[in-house]
Structure 1
């Protein structure tokens, strides 16, 4: 549920229309291909966790197998990315709540939501898991309801203002590149970021009672379920609405429910995307706290970071690390008050999202080092066809990053990501040399 909560979000409920608009029915291939490579990445991370389930984040393995400098680079990058992600989701929460309460101040709504979710994370990991379970359940119910509605409409060949609901809307006159190869290729980074967050499941491994059985179950089953939800929903959407009739500006879920004769479709989907944003915010606060705690653990023993934040509270959570992360997320209500900083934030958020690709690549490189280390468990949870799948996944992720430079809107973020890596790597290297 945590992985589903972190992965299935507003990108499906609101953004699927624009992806279908660019690629047509071929969007199914985009999701399937990316799903396969994310499965390989999760198997690599899962194999390392299986050998040492006591770690709190997968970044710990980057430090162990690629060195402290790259480990710190990945750790700080991933943590800052989570802060920006949390800020973006909190801003979205304020927007969705104002749908019903337009006179409420957005900053006040955001502050209340942040306090509530941080409190849930501070009480105990069990309460976080319970909250995330129900957040994810609402999204699953919405998707299953859509799929059931779609199956009924397609099987009965229901008449709509756009024609008959039928799978022929997908497969009739099928073309792999109906809007050109360029649109097909540039759809990959869009869908890539829809899968972003699936690694959240690995961050919970160190806090479960039977990690070895959980690792196998979580990694093997979660992505299959996510793909079923994504692909099932997309097939239903395109079966009811001819793909060329979908608009990028309006949620395809709203369009389907309206064609099914549900007048309150917009309000229902607004509630669902509100819970989707709250779910992503809840997961990212949880993850950010664990990553900052890991950074504090790896910091010099007598330093302030290690001394003050490498601590677990009586409730069994890294409370101080969670609080520090939450304080930085306060930039969201600040943006609601000071409108001028939102444009700069958009650029930084884009850069941090792009950096996740680099962190994923580092995790895969760490796994390759693990395979040749003394820690390698020959009887462990092995990545299938490792020599082929590891190499192809790394190459594929590199190609996804390079494809960002083909999309004008993504170029500032991609360039910012490169600058971020160079500057942060230089600063960490200088700091390490001074300590030596």
Structure 2
């Protein structure tokens, strides 16, 4: 029996099915739904439901690819390891550090947002102080034990779910009672508000196409569950069940919520520059809707930041296990609680530079550029995961009776084509075009470096 003071050499399975399920839900519900739904609805009206559904189906297929890989090797620390295994160490190095950047920059953005949300109630407290306190709190949660992270995320996600179910139930009750919304453009709450004079391209085909990247990036984070297998109890039992609910969650929490909002009020008159959730709550007489939504988006941002800290730490830890060297040996060491504490603290220190960056205007445009570019890089990462899955299917590791992706021969290439299509739609908008070009520059530049230093194979 090992000395109790000796650091363990593997992660502890402290996440239960309850934790993983809620974390998976939290990964698909962000502040974009609560604050940005009005913008996405204004682009193309009720046909935005098709965009969410189609995008959700392809991301579900990607999650089934990750699920199949995790089922084949449930002790694996992340999907980064699968990319290294099936596409070569160069590809794994590229994906690992690229993915880490796509975690750090959004974490900085979430921390900045949290400072603003808290100032809604504490306007005299400086944002930098709020940001430091929040980071210390969440890093503490992540360092104590993985079950504490899971428990915190369970309650953060619960608040988001209750808020969305609240608007759905409210809308259904309105329909049943024949509620008529007030105002010049008010009317009876009904699904007829969606189907009446329905057009697939009410604002033109270009706006319909531009909705795809907006919706895609609202789903980014859905892959977080792919970092948790090594810390999940009974992963071969839990992971398939959790991943199989992804499509259901998309239907309920995104398609369902937006359908209800557009049923309550004519979408033509929903404000694009404010949350439709606040607008709807005010319509039904809840004057403190802004305070309510602020609480919800605060918990959503806390949830996102909590998960980003967790994921960044596990990503660095997984990269450290891939190779030998001084920095790898340093970051592969676990704490006595079986937590990759050094990797978490390294990521957290960079995230805590947020107040400094926010205080220097010269960094603002650069920060926005890199934040947008990381969104484009995510498409490259997702595509490499899909290619790694295809290589797994052709390898001796393939388990015929495992948790297999449905309709693999058709679904896999279609998903890769869909990711290429999303990347192409980035060039329809000036801001997204800059992001796409930044993503291409990073992929070519850092991809070349990874290939030269570590080697990359695609055969």
TM range (shorter): over 0.9
Q: Distance in 2 between matches of 1:432 and 1:361?
A: 20
Deviation at 1:319, TM superposition (A): 0.5
Tell me if the contact between 2:67 and 2:239 (Cα under 8 Å) persists in the aligned partners: yes
Name the counterpart of 1:347.
369
Unaligned runs of 5+ in 1: none
Q: Distance in 2 between matches of 1:225 and 1:295?
A: 31
Tell me if the contact between 2:37 and 2:275 (Cα under 8 Å) persists in the aligned partners: yes
Per-residue CA deviations over 1:137-185 (Å, capped at 9, x if unaligned) read 0001111111111111222222221322222211100111101111111
Q: Distance in 2 between matches of 1:21 and 1:429?
A: 43
Q: Distance in 2 between matches of 1:375 and 1:354?
A: 31
Tell me if the contact between 1:5 and 1:279 (Cα under 8 Å) persists in the aligned partners: yes
SS at match of 2:245: helix
Q: Does 1:70 align with 2:91?
A: yes
Name the counterpart of 2:25.
4
Name the counterpart of 2:203.
179
Deviation at 1:423, TM superposition (A): 1.2
Match of 2:168 among 139, 143, 147: 147
Unaligned runs of 5+ in 2: 1-21
TM-score, length-scaled by structure 1: 0.97
Deviation at 1:286, TM superposition (A): 0.5
Q: Does 1:228 align with 2:249?
A: no
Name the counterpart of 1:417.
439
SS at match of 2:373: helix
Deviation at 1:363, TM superposition (A): 0.2
In the TM superposition, structure 1's runs of 4+ consecutive aligned residues that sit over 4 Å from their partners are none
Q: Distance in 2 between matches of 1:209 and 1:9?
A: 26
Name the counterpart of 1:250.
274
Q: How does 1:6-85 map to 2 (within 5 A)?
A: 6-85=27-106
SS at match of 1:15: helix
Q: Does 1:198 align with 2:222?
A: yes
Name the counterpart of 2:264.
240
Name the counterpart of 2:329.
307
Match of 2:297 among 273, 278, 291: 273
Deviation at 1:384, TM superposition (A): 0.5
Tell me if the contact between 2:53 and 2:250 (Cα under 8 Å) persists in the aligned partners: no
Name the counterpart of 2:391.
369
Q: Distance in 2 between matches of 1:428 and 1:167?
A: 52
Q: Distance in 2 between matches of 1:234 and 1:79?
A: 31
Instruction: Give the alignment's Cα RMSD to 1 decimal.
Output: 1.1
Q: How many residues align?
A: 431
Tell me if the contact between 1:75 and 1:291 (Cα under 8 Å) persists in the aligned partners: yes
Name the counterpart of 2:125.
104
Tell me if the contact between 2:210 and 2:428 (Cα under 8 Å) persists in the aligned partners: yes
TM-score, length-scaled by structure 2: 0.92
Name the counterpart of 1:163.
186
Tell me if the contact between 1:40 and 1:389 (Cα under 8 Å) persists in the aligned partners: yes
Name the counterpart of 1:391.
413
Q: Does 1:427 align with 2:445?
A: no
